[in-house]
Every structure is written in structure tokens, then in C-alpha cells.
Amino acid sequence: MPIDATLPYDDNNIFAKIMRGEIPSTKVYEDEWSYAFEDINPQAEIHTLVIPKGQYVSWDDFSAKASAEEIAGFVRAVGEVARMKGLVEPGYRMMANIGAHGGQEVPHLHVHIFGGQFLGPMIAR
């Protein structure tokens, strides 16, 4: 069920629980600003999620309110995860869903990294 991305942050969302270690995840990467783990229901050969450690519902929230350090740290983490996965060549796709029309289901900002195969058109038709 897609979320309303304008709602306040819910500290009990599933990714907050994953970061606190209350729900298991397959960790890929972690630093001061970010945490990355494998998607439980992969949509491509490689499907990894990168989340900021700060409490941001969506890209909208993050881009408006996060500090320059948080933004830089998170952007670098997304790139680092893709490099760690060996995706730069032949390429990959990154995506963030925002709110109802974006189909966002978990109310903690996450960037999807897809790769390991040709990914087809940008949006399903």
C-alpha cells in the first residue's frame, strides 16, 4: 500500500527496525551516514537498498531537511555500493519512489540499486 510521503516520520517503520537490528537483513555496506542491504523480494539479479541513517520519510523530506554532510554521505554511499557490487560497467539503475504515485511502500527514504542484467525500458509500459 503506497504511503503518503508528507506524513511525519514513523520510528516503527520496517527499515528503522532493520537499522536497529530488530529485524534481520543481509547487510551490504554501512558507514556513519548510510546502511545498505539486499531487498527481500529482488526485482533484478542484483537489487540492493541504500538508506540514510537519519529519519527521513522520502527523497522530498531528505532533500529539503538533511544537512550537507548527510546528503554527501548518502550520495557517496549509493555510488560506493554500486562499485562494491561491480555494477559500474556494464551499468545499473538507481531509483527512489516517492509517495503514492511513486509507489513508495516503506516510509523511510531508500534508493533501489538494480543491476546484474539488462534492465529494459525506464518505466513499464
Q: Which residues are catalytic?
A: 110
Residue 48 or 87 having the CB closest to ligand 5GP: 48
Instruction: Find the shortest distance in angstroms from Cβ 15 to ligand 5GP.
Output: 8
Give the Cα separation of 89 and 116 in Å (integer). 10
In sequence order, what DSSP letters do the residues of 17-84 get, joined into one string? HHHTTSS---EEEE-SSEEEEE-SS-SSSEEEEEEESS--SSHHHHHHHS-HHHHHHHHHHHHHHHHH
Query: What is the x/- site pattern for ligand 5GP, positions 65-104, by CB under 6 A?
Result: --------------------------------x-----xx
Query: What is the x/- site pattern for ligand 5GP, positions 28-57, by CB under 6 A?
Result: ---------xxxxx----------------
Q: How many residues touch ligand 5GP (CB under 6 A)?
A: 13
